[in-house]
Chains A and B, each alone.
Chain A
Amino acid sequence: MEVGIDIIVQVLVWGLYAGCIYILLATGLNLIFGVMKVVNFAHGQLLMIGAYVTFSFFVVSGFNPYVLLAASIPILIILGVSIERLCFRPILGTGKLNEIFISIGLIYILENAAALIWTDEWRVIHSPFESITVPLAGMRIPVDYLIIIVTTAVILVALYSFLRKTSLGRAVRATSQNRKAAMLMGINVERMDMLSFGIGAGLAGAAGTLWVVSGQVFNPYMGSVPAIKAFAIVIIGGLGSIPGAIIGGLILGIAENFTIFTVGGAWKDAIAFLILIIVLVIRPTGLFGESGE
């Protein structure tokens, strides 16, 4: 069967869109891991909460859901800080097993809390721009996807600027590079833990909003699959590496969608782990990881 360039472009756009969601999720996860060396298995549930926060504000206020990024990101930052303070800080350094079980427990707590608050029915909202399309390579692409791609880029540039240009950001990076040295330099590393967990949760909240705006359905149990993909991306890109999470997210999003197009939808999830195996065999530390991390 012949495949036109327009169809290829369309698949590429879907891949970029999927990659954006993955990048936001994986970047947050990586930031948390980089600073705290904690693996938060409940990170997908933060995306789910972000989706519900957007949904609730949209239903109550009728605001443009993109504007509701201004609500979902701060609320998730507060939630992330609370989780770090109440759940992870007390057990930090007591063993990986405790961290793993705390985060697994959080999955159930967050899912059940969401089901209690919002019920476990599938929800969907429609973007106000859903009928607007723009021409691209002979196709008409819904403007929502372009907004989502641009929004993700803006968030990542803002994160990059924060980490590179501000003293607080430099302190976060220092903690990530060498926690003990950062402490000796007078950096309050516990504050950095709180900050990185908050930013990570905020990025998951942004991913939740963009998920909702794109017209995808969601319920309290929808967070696990995106989280698994985010973990795969973190390993593909290299543990603790934010550029790795970005490149890994893009690779996975595009590879997944071209796999669906060529091999079939049943292979969608398998491709993430195929890429993971290939990357680990060729470069065990991931694309941007450094040995010893």
Chain B
Amino acid sequence: MRRELVVFSLLLIAVALFAGCTSQPAATEKIKIGVVASLTGPASTTGKDVWESAQLAAAEINAQGGVFVRELNKKIPIELVAGDDESTREGGQKAVSRMITQDGVDMLVGGFSSAVVSAHQSIVADHKVPYIITGASTPVITRRDDVDTTFMFHHAPTTDDSGGQITLFLNDTVRPAINAKFGFQETRPLRLAVLYQDSPYGKGHQTAIKNTIANNSLKIDVVAEEAFKMGESDYRTVLTSIKNADPDVVYVAAFLNEQIPIETQAMRDVMLNKLFTAVEPNDDPDFYSGVGKYADYSIVQSRFSPYTVPKGPTEAASMKFVSDFDRKFGGFPGMMGVATYEGIYMGAKAVENAGTLNKTRVRDALAGLRMPQIVEAMQGGMITFSPDFRESKFDLTMEQLVWNETLKETRPHIVWPAGLAETQFVLPDWFVPGKA
């Protein structure tokens, strides 16, 4: 019996070894893309969107026969490898390390949370693997100089982009509306309170607001700056503090799970009758259902909304993507999902342009990438990476949410920029301006 067991074990080892040998040539016959996604932990809702959107893109590309690689003179399919960062820095390091060293991925796509991505960048840099980052929003990701980021490409609006745009909108549209409605002098500055997550993401917004005000000499006074811990759920006191500062507008730099209680507690508990702004990741169905009537007349920045599509060349592609995703997985893919979907297409295009899976040449192809916008509207209608910090630039919109009595939820209407506006920004009757 014991001898049989030894023979069986040897046979099993031999089979495993042969299996390893035979699968080796096949490994070069596909493009292995590692998808860095928070499949478990607090950010798993977004992580699921990221992974499913990547699957949709890969399935579409493979249905067309795959990606043509000149070196092989044929089309080869994409194989996705899931890397669960567990919504933590350590989890991200483990996942990225495994995908690079054990799975042998040709490139990486995804990455959510500036903190999580920052923690595994050095591993990517050491192995020189092309990485299209579609989630983190701090500009530091591709601007830091303690890590070689030359293989990393940032396909998500940075906090500089988002913060700058919201601040310009407040100055150009909200400030004149308040001054006109309440008979203030045209020169009266907007009183702005900033409520930000105590993280690179939140601080990035805080910095962007200040820089935008200073660089453009905007008439905006920041009357309160309040931080909160990531994942906090009780904002009543911090909102009371903001109430005491008496602003016109509260700029919130928070994630979805934070934005909902912030706006709810502000309106319901603290009775803060001020305008609220939310940054782009909050334009999600869960935000509308979670915050309910408390988001009425609030402002949300967006680049991909579940309930409104900017008129223009990406309108049809956007609607098709949402419909295909819903059919395949059910639900709405979210902004991180759509960016990852585009990231897979961008990676495929870079391999095609490079004509090889050689990582350095794929990296060079990404650096020189120039492809038409896919789902999200890009500046100039093209996806390209800036030569200095390898950032793609999006066309962002500002939406105002209006209560829909039939749906019992608010719905967004684009109010900025003028070329895409569906309707004009309005001040609600309950709004009370800060005392100048």
Contact = CB atoms under 8 A, between A and B. Distances in A.
Contacts of B234: 14, 18, 216
Given A215-B268, A216-B261, A265-B228, A122 B241 contact: no
A14 B198 contact: no
Contact of B229 (A122, A221, A265): A265
28 contacts: A1-B244, A1-B245, A3-B244, A4-B244, A7-B243, A10-B270, A14-B234, A15-B237, A120-B41, A122-B45, A122-B256, A126-B292, A140-B271, A215-B261, A216-B234, A219-B257, A221-B41, A222-B233, A225-B231, A261-B237, A261-B238, A261-B241, A264-B227, A265-B232, A265-B235, A265-B237, A266-B229, A269-B229
Contacts of A269: 229
B406 to A, nearest CB: 18
A231 interface: no
Interface string A107-143: 0000000010000111010100011010000001010
B290 A122 contact: yes
A193 to B, nearest CB: 32
B42 A268 contact: no
A1 B227 CA distance: 18
A124 B290 CA distance: 6
B199 to A, nearest CB: 10
Given A1-B245, A260-B238, 11 more contacts: A7-B240, A133-B271, A142-B268, A218-B233, A219-B42, A257-B236, A257-B237, A261-B238, A264-B238, A265-B226, A265-B229
B122 interface: no
B264 A124 contact: yes
Contacts of B257: 122, 217, 219
Nearest to B41: A221
B45 A121 contact: yes
Interface string A207-240: 0000000011111011001000000000000000
A95 B188 CA distance: 69
B270 A264 contact: no
A217 B241 contact: no
B116 to A, nearest CB: 15
A216 B235 CA distance: 9
B41 A265 contact: no
B284 to A, nearest CB: 11
Contact of B237 (A3, A126, A215, A260): A260
B395 interface: no
Interface string B207-236: 000000000000000000011110111111
A142 B44 CA distance: 33
Of listed B45, B198, B244, B260, residue having the most chain A CB within 10 A? B244
Interface residues of B, number: 36
Interface in A79-127: 115, 120-122, 124, 126
B265 interface: yes
A222 B261 CA distance: 14
Contacts of A75: none
Interface in A257-279: 257-258, 260-261, 264-266, 268-269
Interface of A: 1, 3-4, 7, 10-11, 14-15, 17-18, 115, 120-122, 124, 126, 130-131, 133, 140, 142, 145, 215-219, 221-222, 225, 257-258, 260-261, 264-266, 268-269
B269 A265 contact: no
A222 B257 CA distance: 11
B236 A14 contact: yes
B228 to A, nearest CB: 4
A4 B246 CA distance: 12
Contacts of A120: 40-42, 44-45
Interface string B149-161: 0000000000000
Nearest to A122: B257
B315 interface: no
A125 to B, nearest CB: 10
A264 B226 contact: yes
Given A260-B238, A261-B241, A268 B232 contact: yes
Closest 6 CB pairs of A and B: A265-B228, A122-B257, A14-B236, A260-B237, A257-B237, A266-B227
Contacts of B186: none
B286 interface: yes
Contacts of B269: 142, 145, 215
A122 B265 contact: no
Contacts of B271: 133, 140
Contacts of A11: 237, 240
Contacts of B261: 124, 215-217
Contacts of B229: 265-266, 268-269
Contacts of B292: 126
A121 B286 CA distance: 9
A265 B228 CA distance: 5
A219 B231 CA distance: 11
Contact of A217 (B227, B238, B260, B268): B260
A106 B40 CA distance: 17
A260 B241 contact: yes
Interface string B367-379: 0000000000000
B228 A266 contact: yes
Contacts of A261: 237-238, 240-241
B255 to A, nearest CB: 9
